[in-house]
């Protein structure tokens, strides 16, 4: 255990071998999980500095500001980092649908014995 990282109050993210940490985004009002993405050092820094969520796209290998083209930005209300500083929790106010499919959340399907079923995110 690294006491300075695990218990201290110094931001010291533990990025993976690709230079990324997982970011879980929830709705600041409802608590619903909206999306999961990844941040590199630049994305984390820009999110902290600007108050709007930035991520690293693994598929495009580029930095992106959520909602920059759609207008559905995520305004950050609070950010937390977990105990070993390898995951970030972003509480945000969405300016529209969060999912690229147009759904409010990326988690709009339930896994069950019969396969996938669509669900209302507010359930």
- Which residues make up each annotated binding site for Mg(2+)? 82, 84, 86
Count, residues in the chain: 123
Give the angle 100-104-107 at the CA atoms, nearest 5°.
80
- Could you give the CA distance from residue 122 to residue 111 in angstroms, rounded to a whole number? 16
Pairing of the two strands 87-94 and 21-27:
parallel
Question: Is the Cβ–Cβ distance between 36 and 25 less than 8 Å?
Answer: yes
Q: What backbone torsions phi and psi does residue 4 show, to the nearest 5 degrees?
A: -65, -45
- Positions at the binding site: 82-84, 86, 99, 106
| Residues of each annotated binding site for Zn(2+) | 83, 99, 106
């Amino acid at each position: 255990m690294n006491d300075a990282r695990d218990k201290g109050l110094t931001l010291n993210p533990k990025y993976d071998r690709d230079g990324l940490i997982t970011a879980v985004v929830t709705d600041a009002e409802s608590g619903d999980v909206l999306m999961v993405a990844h941040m590199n050092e630049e994305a984390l820094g820009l999110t902290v500095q600007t108050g709007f969520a930035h991520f690293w796209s693994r598929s495009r290998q580029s930095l992106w500001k959520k909602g920059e083209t759609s207008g559905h930005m995520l305004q950050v209300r609070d950010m937390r980092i977990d105990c070993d500083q390898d995951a970030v929790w972003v509480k945000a106010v969405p300016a529209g649908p969060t999912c690229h499919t147009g759904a409010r959340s990326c988690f709009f399907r339930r896994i069950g014995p019969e396969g996938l079923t669509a669900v209302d995110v507010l359930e």
